[in-house]
Amino acid sequence: MPIFYFVVVNYWCGEAIAQLLPSLAQDCPDQNYQILIVNNSPEDRSLDSFPTEFAHCTILETGENLGFGRACNRAIAWVADRDPGAIVWLINPDAWLPAGTLAAARSLLSQANWAILGTAIDQPDGRPEFRGGRFDRRSGLIEPSAQDSPTAAKVQPTDWVSGCSLLINLAAFRELPQFDHRFFLYYEDFEFCRCYARQGYLVAIAPSLRVIHATSTVTGRQPERKLRWSIGGYLLALSIHGSRWALIYRLARIVISAIAQWPQHPARSCAKLQGVADAWQSWRSTRNGSARR
């Protein structure tokens, strides 16, 4: 049976992680799991006691804020070096697992030859937040679904899954799976899924697996930065996987809305235009080179 390696990226959210970790251990009487915390905030020492407080917990120090995708790349490489047949489970620090989740996940390991598997995600009040992702290449529409499937007990193919709770089956990959390092935050999960789906790997969702997510515990504190990163990630994702028409259309809408909103909302308008500039710079920087490292 493969070992589960839970990967949590920290950026000043030690308190949330302290609530998450007990939920990861509650279903592991066989101790067949490991926890990796990638510390993107080196000055945050709230994590220092975690390896002694929580079993099987390791801190990976980055020395800087790498963003989500690059931090996950560090953890994926760390796991692959030690256990190439493992299951890497990316989980947000502001999420937690209900009782029985890990046992249910083990029962799904034999269902289809999936490489990337998402879970259902619920808000703390029980409302559904994510049940799979859809992508329309022609229009550039990237959207989550929050509707339950009538065949929720089965693993089902989907266009993309959320990095809030994403499982990677290392044994299914011919080479080390990596996120595109140009994405700092937002849409790196979408791009990761589409990249490997285009290579023939199965991207699927298991609606019977559910995690609870307290949305935007960290990024909600920085609305303008969130908007900038989201727009930059979205446009970069479209430049890779969308049609040229979709990219031009969505870019024009964003720029026009930024100009129109400037008198009333200059900070938001500036964030939108910065996101456009970020996407352009990211695209230019790696036109002729690899974006996975």
Token pair listed for 152: 């929720």
Question: Contact at 8 Å (CB) between 286 and 270?
Answer: no
Angstrom distance (rounded) from CA 60 to CA 21: 16
Return the closest-CA partner of residue 133 out of 147, 150, 122. Answer: 147
Tell me which CATH code domain 4-213 carries.
Answer: 3.90.550.10
Mapped onto helix, strand or coil, the DSSP state of residue 190 is helix
pLDDT for 145 equals: 87
- Strands (E) across the chain are located at 4-10, 33-39, 57-61, 87-91, 95-96, 114-122, 128-130, 133-136, 141-144, 156-157, 165-169, 202-213
pLDDT for 284 equals: 83
pLDDT for 43 equals: 93
Q: Are strands 33-39 and 57-61 parallel, antiparallel or unpaired?
A: parallel
Angstrom distance (rounded) from CA 222 to CA 253: 23
Q: Per-residue pLDDT tens, the chain, 293 aa: give them.
A: 789 999 999 999 999 999 999 988 876 666 688 999 999 999 999 999 999 999 899 999 999 999 999 999 999 999 999 999 999 999 999 999 998 898 888 888 877 789 999 999 999 999 999 999 999 999 999 999 877 766 666 899 999 999 999 999 999 999 999 999 999 999 999 999 999 999 999 999 999 899 999 975 555 568 999 999 999 999 999 999 999 999 999 999 999 999 999 999 999 999 999 999 999 999 887 665 457 65
3-state helix, strand, coil in the chain (%, to 5): 40, 25, 40
